[in-house]
Amino acid sequence: MLNQIKDADVKMGSAYSSCSCSLSTHTLHSFPITKICGSKSQSILVLPLNRSHGIRYIYFQKPKKIVPHHSFYSSSLPVQPPRSGTVEEMATQEETNISPTFDYHGIDQGLLQKMAYDALVWSSLHGLVIGDKSVERSGKVPAVGLVHAPLALLPTPFPESQWRQACELAPLFNKLVDQVSLDGKFLQDSLSRTKKADSFTARLLDIHSKMLEVNKKEEIRLGLHRSDYMLDEQTKSLLQIELNTIASSFAGLSCLVTELHRNLLTHYGELLGLDSKRIPRNTASIQYAEALAKAWQEYDNPRAVLLFVVQPEERNMYDQHLLSTVLRESYHVATIRKTLAEIDQDGELLPDNTLSVDGQAVAVIYFRAGYTPTDYPSESEWRARLLMEQSSAIKCPSISYHLAGTKKIQQELAKPGILERFLENQDDIAKLRECFAGLWSLDDSDIARKAIEWPKLFVMKPQREGGGNNIYGDDVRETLLRLHKERNEEDAAYILMQRIFPLVKNTVLMRGGCSFKDQAISELGIFGAYLRNKDKVIMNDQSGYLMRTKISSSNEGGVAAGFAVLDSIYLT
């Protein structure tokens, strides 16, 4: 078998501890799941991925010193992404005679300090801010305790071809979520074991079950999604981390970071060898607001309001207020903000199923809360969630859209033949499968055994959103061994995912008014907006992007959770 592995002609890289590559489907049946030991510095692990597209070898070697890679730039044709990722025509390397410098640690310290100062001024003037957690009322009262959002001082290089791929995937995932949401049996069956192990998912499923029992139809369906990806350095594959269908944040602030970086490169680009036009424009806040406004119009009640469901202490309120401002100024849509507890207290269901809050009819409910168990500290919050689901208001997301974005459903969709249940176009199915990382259920004993033996090649994920929930490294082994020993249903609360190893880059991060150098990795999120009324698809767009960067030693990646900073991309 070792000779067969060698015949695969898979090359090792020098900088990373892990990489992967795929073989054809027929190869799967030729290789048992096994470990093959090589030299003292190199080993090979053979894992079955989604059997619809073969297996993946994961190579790893002893850690070496990371050497930042600088040859990112390629002279390319003008970029023409979808309108939602709009960029003006971009200059080629020959036209600008610019040789980019991405070794941001090599920039003169005086120049870095000047750029950092300008970035802080720009952020303050343009609302690139969050609530300062050290100020008691910063998450409750606007304009109290402001601090700039954590950000990268300069944009992160990203290959243009993978950027285009990510943009093209957004409408496909939008359609997939919609189709999955209509299959109540699939959602209930897929999450049936998880329901026994995870009380939060169980409560969501109970609400979904109640809607199925009364045959509740969501004729008008609105989805504001974000699909998150990492670029595997060794294979250059764009691999999906997760698909967010509820409270996809930073549509507002991500646009401002993009404009900040374009502004900095307009002034300092010649010194850095960087061209501001290589940063794609980001219109996420405008397009998200447009989708919300169009849904409000479809509801067809000009006196109705749009309800933002928010957390009691929301330090990220300005990201949300940016959307409210566009809705008010561009579409004359009134918005109100309520917590789940306030909706339980102030809301009621009228005889015609209209949701009324403070005496105002609600046309659209936009959830920026309700995705984590801590959002439901009492039965009051659960009553509010059920009340909203029973109403005729357009939910973003509905309970079925919410469930369609769970980790378990992500893993189920990666199984052979499952995408064909929801989509017909084979090209679309192939494009989606191409971005799937390895995903497995814990009841796959072979994979569980491999994860115990090689824990650093896997991530354990619970059915949670918001950052800070995943299990990495030796904790994967310990958790799996504990679950195996206890032999209860708790394993159904998790999935296993292939760990992705993106490029580590030198970067300059800013937090709390201070800048610091570090090595970092990045995650690209692509926003998508989907709206349909019965059989008519009104909107299905890629709607801007979110780049998040974190220090390479950090496992988690949430900005709001304090692990990452906001960033933008520089197309190469």
The H helix count followed by the E strand count for the chain is 19, 24
472 annotated to a ligand binding site: yes
Are the C-beta atoms of 87 and 570 separated by less than 8 Å?
no
Are the C-beta atoms of 402 and 389 separated by less than 8 Å?
no
282 annotated to a ligand binding site: no
269 annotated to a ligand binding site: no
**Which pairs from 132-137 meet CB under 8 Å and 24+ separation?**
132/315, 133/315
221 annotated to a ligand binding site: no
226 annotated to a ligand binding site: yes
462 annotated to a ligand binding site: yes
Does the active-site annotation cover 466? yes
Of 195, 407, 450, 505, the active-site residue reads 407
248 annotated to a ligand binding site: yes
Q: DSSP class of residue 493? A: G
Are the C-beta atoms of 46 and 36 separated by less than 8 Å?
yes
Does the active-site annotation cover 465? yes
433 annotated to a ligand binding site: no
388 annotated to a ligand binding site: no
Of 244, 285, 392, 515, the active-site residue reads 244
83 annotated to a ligand binding site: no
Q: Are strands 439-441 and 458-462 parallel, antiparallel or unpaired?
A: unpaired
Of 20, 52, 123, 249, the active-site residue reads 249
Of 242, 342, 389, 412, the active-site residue reads 242
Does the active-site annotation cover 94? no
467 annotated to a ligand binding site: yes
328 annotated to a ligand binding site: no
Are the C-beta atoms of 55 and 46 separated by less than 8 Å?
yes
342 annotated to a ligand binding site: no
Of 465, 506, 515, 522, the active-site residue reads 465
Of 226, 277, 278, 532, the active-site residue reads 226
Of 262, 385, 395, 461, the active-site residue reads 461
133 annotated to a ligand binding site: no
371 annotated to a ligand binding site: yes
465 annotated to a ligand binding site: yes
Maximum CA extent, the chain = 74
Does the active-site annotation cover 548? yes
What's the angle, vertex CA 38, arms to CA 37 and CA 41, rounded to 5?
A: 115
368 annotated to a ligand binding site: yes
Which residues share a beta bridge with 515?
A: 510
- Report the C-alpha gap between 469 and 466 in whole angstroms: 8
468 annotated to a ligand binding site: yes
131 annotated to a ligand binding site: no
- Report the C-alpha gap between 263 and 266 in whole angstroms: 5
417 annotated to a ligand binding site: no
How far CA 431 is from CA of 231, 406, 560, in Å, comes to: 16, 21, 31
Does the active-site annotation cover 415? no
42 annotated to a ligand binding site: no
179 annotated to a ligand binding site: no
What are the start-end ranges of the H helices in 52-156? 93-96, 109-126
Q: Which residues of 273-308 are buried (b: 16+ CB within 10 A; e: fewer)?
A: ebbbbbbbbbbbbbbbbbbbbbbbbbbeeeebbbbb
Does the active-site annotation cover 407? yes
Which residues share a beta bridge with 396?
A: 366
Of 466, 552, 558, 562, the active-site residue reads 466
The three-state (H, E, C) secondary structure of 153-165, written as one string? CCCEEECHHHHHH
Does the active-site annotation cover 249? yes
Does the active-site annotation cover 244? yes
- Report the C-alpha gap between 406 and 371 in whole angstroms: 10
Are the C-beta atoms of 121 and 469 separated by less than 8 Å?
no
Are the C-beta atoms of 21 and 235 separated by less than 8 Å?
yes
414 annotated to a ligand binding site: no
Annotated binding site for Mg(2+): 242, 244, 465
Annotated binding site: 226, 242, 244, 246-249, 314-316, 320, 368-371, 407, 461-470, 472, 497-500, 523, 548, 550, 556, 559-560
Catalytic residue numbers read: 226, 242, 244, 249, 407, 461, 465-466, 548
Annotated binding site for substrate: 226, 246-249, 314-316, 320, 368-371, 548, 559-560
Annotated binding site for ATP: 242, 407, 461-470, 472, 497-500, 523, 550, 556
